[in-house]
Amino acid sequence: MLNSLLSGDYPKSRVLSGVLVAILVGLAFAPFLFSGAAAINTAAKICIFIVLVASYDLLLGYTGIVSFAHTMFFGIGGYGVGLGLYAFGASWGVLAIGILIALMVAVVLAFLIGLLSLRVRAIFYAMITLAVASAFLILATQFSEYTGGEDGRSFSVPPVLRPGFRLFEAPVFGVTINGRILAYYLVFISAVVLFLLALRVVNSPFGRVLQAIRENDMRAEALGYRVVYYRTVANCLAAAMAVLAGAMSAIWLRYTGPDTTLSFAIMLDILLMVVIGGMGTMYGAVVGATLFIVAQNYLQKLMGTASAATEGIPLLPKLLHPDRWLLLLGVLFVLSVYFFPTGIVGRLRGEKR
């Protein structure tokens, strides 16, 4: 059972297993364990980014494709759901059609980018994805009549997912089960299912060919694997998964806009999460996304406290000012890459490189 669920790909480290179980339990019971909107927001964001980062790991970690277009697919998912619900009203049918259209657009786009450019050298491929993603960002902000431009679009979700909805009259374990909590569980369960699916794909015969291509594409070709075909399919799969992450994000936020889905800042975050977590491990996505988002949300508070505590000492309070959190994160990132080149997961598994 567990073997099938995890596709035989166990964490292979006791500490890592513990960390993963803790994250799973934390996310599964987040509405009951943590109080306040901020905490559940953080938990939902972690779920969404686990899916997004896992899909990116399929590309970067498993296939060795460097793409900067991943937030574009995330955005297509967000806009597909958002614009659909905005224009045609908050029903499950519209939601489903929005996701379906977004999936089709993304897969066609990923297919085209793949076919046109996966034959070229990796660096050119990265440049092409960067150009396409920039073009998409510009389109999304320029066509403001349809997309809401820079402001994005706020919209309603189906009534069951709204704050006003009550599943039960009485609270459960002291928590009122409202539409927001249902929306959270929709996001959480989607994340679990998509992550396990991704784990299955990387442990399938197809997934092993992707690793072979990452390791030595010329030899993979010499064995009879059409590398362009495999890379293109991997591209489409990763794009589809990013679309679903985008849809989850839109449902949760009830908003879609360039800053929450398309921006290059998010692309950078994804890269950091996958590298910190450990490329080519899938579990790295869970650890990386959780750590990064928790740090993003709580580092600033922590730094505020530290800054106040070091009042009077020269320079330190300034360095620890909450506005410098990115600086500190950057330092942490450099240190982690330096000391754990295989990421946290690689480190916990005791791999040397």
Residues that bind other proteins (CB under 8 A): 4, 7-8, 200-201, 203-209, 211-212, 215-216, 218-227, 230, 233
CB 132, CB 140: distance < 8 Å: no
CB 270, CB 53: distance < 8 Å: yes
Spatial distance between the Cα atoms of 155 and 242, rounded to a whole number of angstroms: 21
CB 50, CB 244: distance < 8 Å: no
Query: Among residues 61 and 80, whose Cβ is nearest to other proteins?
Result: 61
Query: Among residues 8 and 93, whose Cβ is nearest to other proteins?
Result: 8
Query: Among residues 6 and 20, whose Cβ is nearest to other proteins?
Result: 6
- Least Cβ distance, residue 185 to other proteins (angstroms): 25
- Least Cβ distance, residue 350 to other proteins (angstroms): 13
For residue 154, list its beta bridge partners. Answer: 255
Query: Among residues 12 and 162, whose Cβ is nearest to other proteins?
Result: 12
Of 114, 38, 39, 109, nearest to 77 (Cα)?
109
Spatial distance between the Cα atoms of 113 and 30, rounded to a whole number of angstroms: 39
- Least Cβ distance, residue 249 to other proteins (angstroms): 25
Query: Among residues 207 and 278, whose Cβ is nearest to other proteins?
Result: 207
CB 151, CB 257: distance < 8 Å: yes
- Least Cβ distance, residue 338 to other proteins (angstroms): 20
- Least Cβ distance, residue 205 to other proteins (angstroms): 5
Q: Which long-range contacts (CB under 8 A, 24 or more apart) does 345-351 make?
A: 345/11, 345/13, 345/16, 345/277, 345/278, 345/281, 345/283, 345/284, 345/287, 346/278, 346/281, 346/284, 347/278, 348/11, 348/13, 348/15, 348/16, 348/19, 349/11, 349/12, 349/13, 349/16, 349/281, 350/13
Query: Among residues 2 and 218, whose Cβ is nearest to other proteins?
Result: 218
Cα four-point dihedral sign 283, 71, 249, 193? negative
DSSP state of 62: I
Strands (DSSP E) found in the chain: 153-154, 255-256
Query: Three-state DSSP class for 166?
Result: strand
Per the listing, tokens 């989850």 go with: 248
- Least Cβ distance, residue 199 to other proteins (angstroms): 11
- Least Cβ distance, residue 232 to other proteins (angstroms): 12
- Least Cβ distance, residue 154 to other proteins (angstroms): 37
Query: Among residues 16 and 202, whose Cβ is nearest to other proteins?
Result: 202
Query: Among residues 117 and 232, whose Cβ is nearest to other proteins?
Result: 232
Spatial distance between the Cα atoms of 28 and 172, rounded to a whole number of angstroms: 15
